[in-house]
Amino acid sequence: MMATKTCLVLLFDSTSEVLLAEKLFKRAGISYKIIPVPRHLSSDCGACIRVFASDKKRARETLDGVVDIRDICPID
Amino acid sequence: MEKIIYMDNAATSWPKPEETIKAMAEYSHSIGASPGRSAHRMSLDAGRVVLDARESLAELFGVKNLLRVVFTKNATESLNIAISGLLKPGDHVITSGMEHNSVMRPLRVMEKSGVELSIIPCSPSGEMDPDDVGRSIKKNTRAIYLTHASNVTGTIMPIAETGKIAREKGVIFCVDAAQTAGAIPIDVEKMFIDILAFTGHKSLFGPQGTGGLYMAEELEKEICPIMTGGTGSKSESEEHPDFLPDKYEAGTANVIGIAGLKAGIRFIRSVGIETIRKKESELTAILVEGFKSIPEVTLYGCGDAKKQTAVVSFNIEGMDCSIVAMALDEEFNIMSRPGLQCAPAAHRTIGTFSAGTVRLSLGYFLEKDDIQAVLSAVEKLVQR
């Protein structure tokens, strides 16, 4: 289902931040999936979070002031 | 199995809540992976255990941003980061005459490299006047390192008062909470604590090998890690990360221990830290008052359960403390700790250096009968 909609990937500095973002997304009811960082986006070996592009604003607002998003990238 | 009366909780708490042991077994059986090293489900679950433990500690200590809670292997490692990672030659630092060697030894090392050290004298009962700290602050005073409670006498230090003075003067305030985290409420904001060093295996009911550090915003820019290496983050770089918690968490974390620690904190929250404090205080009062009624016993510290943790030091007139401890163990199944308890400064302060004391440190799982058994054992030893 997720693949049929446009998605974004949120990149963070550490997995601790990824998991903290997950906690906040769960509380806010935002759909997400933790995936390995796509190699073309970053050479980091950790995890990142995929969300629907339509949730970009809510996702940013949910994390605002708590977790810094390093980058937001479109993904196929 | 013979009934053991374990009174060495200031070294390591025992027994642990069943929840602690179960959580460690469950982690080992069903998760077991490295946190922060991959995005597979087992690694993520390991990371979730660690993050939840950070959150529990942050809530317990009044820390707003849970990523500012760093895991270490014990309070000693945390204090070493806070001391050797921060201080530079020419800095002046202040500590008290009641410190454990986990503070004193790193400070003595720094002293050799040009750090100036002031040790605030305490009363023979181990009490410190925070105004003495204020009077010792100089232009180059970088930090104050203070124990929250003595591991020898249990004397509780004036943390909030000292913290307020430090904050007003712009001096970093570091608290060694090895004896108090989980036993006495701690709020880093209300107590003006900039750095909090704690251990997991005492009153937080976690296993040995767990501990941690809280540091206030921006302090990581001034504190070097004592270890660098793999963190799972910024893998493309050969430079160590400069953000929390990764900066101070090189290498694979002790997740099985952290799983146990998390369960230990959950136990504290379910019982209530105030309930734990009340029970330990009541038991301490019985022991202290009982000792006061035995003329051959010298009791150290303030002699007031309300002003101390559940740690009681004593000696029996004419008896070596190590002989008393051995007799308590072998004849009465009572586990105590004789000697200097790694705190020669505190023993100099209370006048028991180098003979030491017998230390009985109580815990939540002891009952009034156990305290009576100890008093009765000491009364028997006194008769010899």
The total number of residues written for chain B in this structure: 384
CATH 3.30.465.10 fits A2-75, yes or no: no
Residues B135 and B249 in one domain: yes
CA dihedral A2, A3, A6, A7 (to 10 degrees): 70
Residues B209 and B287 in one domain: no
- Spatial CB neighbours of B373, under 8 Å, sequence gap ≥ 6: B5, B332, B334
pTM over 0.95? The answer is: yes
Is A43 within 8 Å of B232 when comparing Cβ atoms? Answer: no
Is A23 within 8 Å of B243 when comparing Cβ atoms? Answer: no
**Which residues are paired to B69 by β-bridges?**
B214
The β-bridge relationship of strands B357-361 and B337-339 is antiparallel
DSSP-based helix, strand, coil % in chain A, nearest 5: 35, 25, 35
Cβ atoms B301, B308 nearer than 8 A: yes
Q: How far is CA B158 from CA A59, B104, B107, B213, in A?
A: 44, 19, 21, 20
Tracing tokens 């005492």 back to the chain, one arrives at B202
How remote is the C-alpha of B158 from its chain's centroid?
A: 16
CATH classification of the domain holding B239: 3.40.640.10
- State how far the Cα of B159 lies from the Cα of B154, in Å rounded to an integer: 14
Phi and psi at residue B262, in whole multiples of 5°?
A: -60, -40
Size of interface A-B (CB pairs under 8 A): 70
Tracing tokens 């605030």 back to the chain, one arrives at B120
ipTM of the complex: 0.90
CATH classification of the domain holding B361: 3.90.1150.10
Is A45 within 8 Å of B232 when comparing Cβ atoms? Answer: yes
**Residues 17-76, chain A, touching B (beta carbon < 8 A):** 17-20, 22-23, 34-37, 42-48, 66-67
Could you say which of B44, B65, B246 has the minimum Cβ distance to residue A47?
B44
Is A34 within 8 Å of B39 when comparing Cβ atoms? Answer: yes
Domain boundary at B221, B238, B270, which? B270
Determine the straight-line distance between the first and last CA of chain B, rounded to whole angstroms: 28
Nearest one of B47, B317, B263, B211 to A21, comparing CA atoms: B47
Query: Could you read off the pLDDT tens digit of each residue along chain B, which spans 384 residues?
Result: 689 999 999 999 999 999 999 999 999 999 999 998 889 999 999 999 999 999 999 999 999 999 999 999 999 999 999 999 999 999 999 999 999 999 999 999 999 999 999 999 999 999 999 999 999 999 999 999 999 999 999 999 999 999 999 999 999 999 999 999 999 999 999 999 999 999 999 999 999 999 999 999 999 999 999 999 999 888 889 999 999 999 999 999 999 999 999 999 999 999 999 999 999 999 999 999 999 999 999 999 999 999 999 999 999 999 999 999 999 999 999 999 999 999 999 999 999 999 999 999 999 999 999 999 999 999 999 998
pLDDT tens-place string over residues A20-65: 999 999 999 999 999 999 988 887 768 999 999 999 999 999 999 9
Interface of B with A (CB under 8 A): 35-39, 44, 47-48, 50-51, 54-55, 65-67, 231-236, 241, 243, 245-246
Residues of A in contact with B36 (CB under 8 A): 14-16, 46
Is A15 within 8 Å of B47 when comparing Cβ atoms? Answer: yes
Residues B30 and B169 in one domain: yes
Range of the domain at B129: 18-270
- State how far the Cα of B154 lies from the Cα of B280, in Å rounded to an integer: 12
Delimit the domains of chain A by residue range. 2-75
Residues of A in contact with B50 (CB under 8 A): 16
Number of neighbouring beta carbons within 10 Å of residue A18: 28
In the three-class reduction of DSSP (H, G, I as helix; E, B as strand; rest coil), residue A36 is classed as strand
The token pair at B96 is 């008290």
